[in-house]
Chains A and B, each alone.
Chain A
């Protein structure tokens, strides 16, 4: 009797795992959402601050227009790699 209930639980568990596994796998393979801004689009202007050690400085994208290229490197959090 006891042995039977153990094998029933194991059976149910295996069935659940078999159903869930492909879903979990599919989540991992989910393609990243497409980019809203594409190559050739005009980059939206902005004004943002940074702290240079003594003052907060303001930087806008438009201040570089006609003068230099700009690399905008978005990163996820400070103190993480990359």
Chain B
């Protein structure tokens, strides 16, 4: 989440809203956001319905996999970063900037 915060200005300049999602409660997420200085919303998928809908629920951990989706204005998925690859969001930041230039 910190990595997205560091790139937030670039992403916002490319018309991109960042939303974090986990299965923690809204209050835990707020405390987490404050602790690491995240200013974008950290959404609470309490119960995991959305995590399951996106097909990334891990039964063993009772939690989502680490995945970043870049979703275009038309609602379609443009990029995916999965597990270890999702730690550094560079691919998504670059894709947003390319899109901005190609407009």
A: interface residue count bin: 35 or more
CB-CB under 8 A from B73, the residues of chain A are 64-69
Say whether A76 contacts B70, CB under 8 Å. Answer: no
Interface of B, helix, strand, loop or mixed by DSSP = mixed
Interface of A, helix, strand, loop or mixed by DSSP = loop
A-B pairs under 8 A by CB, number:
177
Residue among B45, B56, B71 with most chain A CB within 10 A = B71
Residue of A nearest to B51 (CB): A74
Say whether B1 contacts A82, CB under 8 Å. Answer: yes
> Taking beta carbons and an 8 Å cutoff, which residues of A are in contact with B?
32, 35-46, 48-53, 56-57, 59, 61-62, 64-79, 82
